[in-house]
Amino acid sequence: MSARSPKLTTALRAARKDGLSHLILDGTLIRTDRVKADRPYFSVKHQCHGMNVQVIAAPNGRILWTSGAMPGKIHDLTAARIWGILRELQKTGILTLADKAYQGAEAAVVITPYKGRNKPAGQKQANRSHAKLRGPGEHANAQLKSWRILHRLRCSPAKAGHLVKAIAVLQNHRTAQATRG
């Protein structure tokens, strides 16, 4: 089933062809049952073992593409660089909204919110607008995690990426069936 999942370039070309106004890039941690000796899989941010998966979604929350799984300790921006996401987004030129984890991305098309506490009113408003546009795309991660098998993976971490891709294909099929019927 994961073989039906589109490649990154194919998904971005389809998004451009569909005329999407923007995309949403976000990373998520899929929790796993790992022993404490498996340090690469431990996410300090989440205080648990897991796998980092990058997700590109449409503005309506439809999952367009998911990456393979990387160890949980890898930062979202690093994972995006490793998978070549930023380079491909730059090539297609589609505006992409991302959270603060992607600040410092070299791609000019990746827009992140302003950081800091005491921001001027204009920056606060920009962050609110950014969050409203990015919000529906955040549902893509929630859709993935709604599948019970991803609540806590008990399989080999090497299989986690294929499993997430297969679930993304099934989720899109289920969503398409619901809109038709």
Q: What is the largest CA-CA distance in the chain?
A: 49
pLDDT in tens, the chain (181 residues): 556 778 999 999 999 999 999 999 999 887 777 655 566 666 667 666 778 899 999 999 899 999 988 887 789 999 999 999 999 999 999 999 999 999 988 888 999 999 888 889 999 999 999 999 998 888 888 888 887 777 777 766 677 887 888 888 888 887 777 777 6
DSSP letter for each residue of the chain:
-GGGSPPHHHHHHHHHHTT-S-EEEEEEEEEB---TT-GGGEETTTTEEEEEEEEEE-TTS-EEEE---EETTS-HHHHHHHHTHHHHHHHHT--EEE-GGGTT-S-TTEE-PPPSSS--HHHHHHHHHHHHHHHHHHHHHHHHHTSGGGSSB-S-HHHHHHHHHHHHHHHHHHHHHHHH-
Query: Is 181 part of any domain?
Result: no
pLDDT tens across 126-173, in order? 999 999 999 888 888 888 888 777 777 776 667 788 788 888 888 888
Query: Is 49 part of any domain?
Result: yes
pTM (predicted TM-score): 0.85
Asked if residue 150 lies in contact with residue 30, where contact means CB atoms within 8 angstroms, the answer is yes
Q: Which domain holds residue 122?
A: 2-176
Query: Is 96 part of any domain?
Result: yes
Q: Count of domains in the chain?
A: 1
Q: Angle CA(91)–CA(14)–CA(140) in degrees, nearest 5?
A: 95
